[in-house]
Structures are given as C-alpha cells and as structure tokens.
Amino acid sequence: MPLTLRFIIGSIIFFQLLAAWPGATWADDGTATPTATAVALPGPPPTASVLPENLAGEKLYTFDTVFGSKGSGADQLDDPEGICVGPGDNLYIADTNNNRIQVWTSDGKPVKSIGSFGISAMWRNDPQFDHPAGVLAIPDGQVYVADTNNNRIVLLDPNGLVALSWGSQGARHRQFNLPRVVAQDHFGNIWVLDTGNSRVENFTNDGKFNFVWGSLGSQEGHLNFPQGMALNQIDQCVISDSGNFHMEIFNDRTPANVDFSPVTTASGDVTMEPTPVTTAPVTVEGWYGDGPCQFKEPAGAAVTKTGLVIVADGVTGRLEIFNKSPFEFYGEWRATDEKLNLPFPPHFRGVACDSQNRLYITDIQNDCVIRLKLAEADEPFIQINVTPVPTEAPSPTFTPTPDDSIPFEGQGFPIR
C-alpha cells in the first residue's frame, strides 16, 4: 500500500477514536476538554403518588331488564330521547324519530301512542310533532312536550289532545331554539331548557312568561348547548352542560329577583321585559374524560327519591351519581360492567326514576329503554376496577346516601 494512502487511512482512524472518547468536547483549536458528568442526588428519586385509575365508587344500581327495539310498532322506538315517569309509574317516552310520545307500563307493555309528524297543534285535536325530545307527565294526567324542531311547548290533556301550545323560533321571550327538556317545580311553574340558546326559560303552567337566565359561554354560570335538566326537592336546577362537559346546579330564581329592561318588539312597541341574567351556580362538577366525575357527553339528568343526582353520560354508556349535598361524586353505573346483550354499545340520552327508585335510561343506539334496580340491601356494595392506593394517598370518602323520607317526585328529561 502506498505511504500516502496509509497515512490518510491512519488519520481517519485516529480522529474516529478521538470522537468516541467519552466525556470530551472539542475546542476550536482541536484540543479536547473534559465534560461534566451528572451526579446522582442522595437517596432514591421521588415518585409520583399512585391514584386509582378508575374508581367507580359504590355500585348502587344493577341491570334489570330492557324494553323495546327499533321500529314504529306499539312496542318499538326510533331514537328515543326524553323519558319521564308519570301517574301509576307509567313511562312517557319521547320517541323522537317516530314523532310521537309512547306511553308504556313500568314493565314495558304499550299503553298508548300520542302524536304524528307535522306542525299542527290545534286545540282539542291530535297533536303533531317534529322530533320531540322532552316530555313531562304531571299527576293530573296532563303532558308537556318539548316539540324540538317546531320550537314550541305543547300541553296535552289527559286524553292526549292539544290543550295549549306556545313558542316559535328565536331568542326572545317565549321563543326557543331546539327546546329539549321540560320540568315543573313545586309551585307549578314550567321550566324549559332552551338548548340552542343555551338558557333556561320559566313560565306559568299555562305558558305565561316569568323569566329567563343563562347565556352561551364557558365561564362559571354560562352554558354551552346543555342537554339535560332536572329539579331537586328544593327546586334547585341540575343542568347537564354538554358543551362544557360538566354538571352545574343552580338555586331557584324567582321573578322577584329578576330585573326588567325596555325591549323593542318587531312592531316597534317598547315593553318592559325581564333581563337575561347570568346566575352563579351552587356547584360545578366534572371535566372532559371517561373517569369518575368526568364526562364526554353529559345528557339526561334526574333526581332519585332519596335525592341523589343522576347524570347520563351519552357516548361512554355510564350514569354518574352525585350526593344530594354537597353534590360530591358518589359512584357510577357502567354498561360495560353488565351483560346487556345489546347489538351495539349503548348511547344514552334520557334518565328517569320511578317510585321504587328504579332508573330508566333511553338508548338511541339500540332504540330501547334500559331499566336498573337498586342493589339488594342485604348484599355488600360492589367495588369495581379499583386500583390499590398507597397510604400516603388516601381514598376519597363518600357521604352516606340520604334517607328515603325525602318527598320528591324525581323526574328525568333529556335530550339530543
């Protein structure tokens, strides 16, 4: 090998060895200088506290049975949304895509069907609906329907005929943008969740406007396309704030607490009407996710006979359960923990509670109603999927379930 070639190869090898020398850097003049080496701190490195990956809490409810299937028959449903329990524990179901209200017994046997598709709501005539999403049956046999796509509330008499209707498309008082929930307080006033306007309107039981509160936003006290609402035993308003991924609870606002301001009507007249307000909530619970106290699509809401707050999380197929006060997370029911034998993963909308504290959930994916029953009192509550927690990270504590003496007709009225 020629001397020049051997010199070139040798130089390459020499510089490769220098580059591989650990702990060295190179100055501009080509001389190596030592590089500082990291020194381990005394003692073991700190470790993050291990928290439960999925603390489900106490399992208060267990699967009981399923009613319904897809179709338009007397015992069938198509995209059922709202549900409530009426007189005699009969179920009133907003059979949304069939444009009707289905009345079934608590065991799923058909009683009657009310309504058909259309825009007519003439006094003492059969009602017509366009995708009704909310329903409320009161003890005297009357039924309020949130006729969602017709942007109105329809009141039916005990025979299922139209007694009254009010509302139109818009954002003024007595106007709606996709109303989805109807509830009644202990004074007989009617609460309407005006979902598309992200607000709540309050009326007398014959449709006279009382007041309105709420507006679109993500700050505390604002709403973002809320899909569920229920009133508890002291008329606090539970709202499933779907677009903000949490549940909010508000104190009752009476007309005496609402300011009035001048409003110019379409005809040019000026009237004094209640001013929309932003009300600070009593509590806000939840954020985005599929764990405890988390939601991906909070929808239907209900209050049980014992005062527990139930919120159905649609796409995750869960019910989140909160105590009566201070409304802390108490537990959840998850469809994945039960053998439901449904053709598709459930997608929940509405939830309601009957006189026996059983829960009814509408499932728009499987076009059915799922009934849950209380866990047997003589059986221990079931802990599911609980990761052990180190002593330095104590487990959450839960307030005991309120007693059964609370006189409240818990209802659940949901949504789309």
pLDDT at 57: 66
Q: Report yes or no on 395 lying in a domain.
A: no
Q: Report yes or no on 100 lying in a domain.
A: yes
Q: Report yes or no on 409 lying in a domain.
A: no
Domain count, the chain: 1
Q: Report yes or no on 385 lying in a domain.
A: no
**What are the pLDDT tens digits along the chain (416 aa)?**
554 444 444 555 444 444 444 443 343 343 333 433 333 334 444 443 333 444 556 779 999 999 999 999 999 999 999 999 999 999 999 999 999 999 999 999 999 999 999 999 999 999 999 999 999 999 999 999 999 999 999 999 999 999 999 999 999 989 999 999 999 999 999 999 999 999 999 999 999 998 888 899 998 889 999 999 999 999 999 999 999 999 999 987 655 455 667 777 767 788 777 666 667 888 999 999 999 899 999 999 999 999 999 999 999 999 999 998 789 999 999 999 999 999 999 999 999 999 999 999 999 999 999 999 998 653 443 443 333 333 343 333 333 333 333 333 333 333 33
pLDDT at 5: 46
Q: Report yes or no on 394 lying in a domain.
A: no
pLDDT at 199: 94
Q: Report yes or no on 18 lying in a domain.
A: no
pLDDT at 375: 86
DSSP bridge partners of 301: 311
Q: Report yes or no on 145 lying in a domain.
A: yes
pLDDT at 11: 54
pLDDT at 52: 42
**CA 148 from chain center: how many Å?**
18
CATH number at residue 132: 2.120.10.30
Q: Report yes or no on 221 lying in a domain.
A: yes
Q: Which structural domain range is residue 201 located in?
A: 61-253+280-374
pLDDT at 221: 83
